[in-house]
Amino acid sequence: MRLLLISNSTNPGEGYLEHPKETIREFLGEKTKNAVFIPYAAVTFSFDEYEARVNARFAQIGHRVTGIHRFINPVEAIENAEAIVVGGGNTWQLVKMLQERKLMKAIRKKVRQGTPYIGWSAGSNIACPTLRTTNDMPIAEPLKFKTLNLVPFQINPHYLDENPANHGGETREVRINEFIEVNRDLYVVGLREGTSLLLEEDELVLIGNRKARVFHYGEDPRELSNEDDFSFLLR
């Protein structure tokens, strides 16, 4: 499988998909690809707007996307896709719509056959076994929490070390520790802003200059950098 799982779409002071654009270019290769784009995580703006925003960046790196909402048969669109791109937004809404359209199985099968998969934020979260490490409010109720299960660990996108100023609630670390207390067999990767996980040929590496924080029950959290091998997470 070939996966590019990006924590976030925009860093402060940068344009949309600015920080991962060169990684996306290298991942997709020099030959122009027209990827199927899944905009279902968008809630407060239209799928057409989302598609246009992504295309504005992809055009700069020699590729383009077509929103899956434009296809009469979305399953067939996935089966014929050159690449699959899943945008961020609300994970619960994304999962609900994928399940209702019977696309989870189609995407899983296609990606396991070798079709490149790119996701950011919610799109990264659904590459995991479940959506239960999302940060999003459950504004919609999916049929189940299970997602694509392309990797055997969980991702927490937008991982923060501290809570915002004047906020007295639980830190992200506290919430993840609650998760691994209940789900003791699963690793969780806290993926900080500006970083990505790249999986190619059974090798999993971190892209970006910030470290990832890896959680597992009974172990102290690990801080791993782009010089470390993350492939132990695949076992």
Catalytic option among 7, 9, 121, 196: 121
Active site (annotated) includes residue 158: yes
The conformation of residue 130, written as its DSSP 8-state character, comes to B
Q: What is the β-pairing status of strands 196-200 and 203-207?
A: antiparallel
For this structure, is 161 an active site residue?
no
Beta bridge partners of 37: 67, 85
Is-catalytic flag, 136?
yes
Q: What is the spatial distance between Cα 231 and Cα 188, in angstroms, rounded to a whole number? A: 14
Cα→Cα distances 48→40, 53, 61, 121, 173, Å: 11, 9, 20, 19, 36
Catalytic residue among 19, 69, 136, 196: 136
Q: How far apart are CA 60 and CA 33, in angstroms?
A: 13
Given 158, 196, 225, 228, which residue is catalytic? 158
Alpha helix segments (H runs only) across 21-117: 21-28, 47-58, 74-79, 91-100, 104-112
Contact indicator for 36, 149 with CB cutoff of 8 Å: no
Look-up: residue for tokens 């999302």?
134
Strands 84-86 and 34-38: parallel
* Residues annotated as catalytic (active site), given as ranges: 121, 136, 158
